[in-house]
Amino acid sequence: MSDLPPLADLLRPKTLTKVVGQDHLIGPDGSLGQMVQGGRLAPMV
């Protein structure tokens, strides 16, 4: 067996700014970006 982490772990964005194509959600005026900056991120699926 390999000691390497799963590929998904290697490719997963490490920061919110690394998520491409979702500026309407994570940008400065986006709903998720505002929740994260305000420290009130609600659980969601």
Dump pLDDT digits (tens) for 1-45: 679 999 999 999 888 778 878 888 888 788 888 888 888 888 877
- Predicted local distance difference test score (pLDDT) of residue 12: 92
Q: How many domains does one find in the chain?
A: 1
**What local confidence, expressed as pLDDT, does residue 5 receive?**
94
What's the pLDDT at 25?
Answer: 84
pTM of the predicted model, to two decimals?
Answer: 0.48
Residue 29: domain span: 7-38
43, part of any domain: no
End-to-end CA distance of the chain: 32
Cα–Cα dist 4/22, whole Å: 30
Radius of gyration of the chain (CA): 14
Residue 1 belongs to a domain: no
CA distances from 29 to 8, 10, 42 (A): 29, 29, 17
26 neighbors 16 (Cβ within 8 angstroms): yes
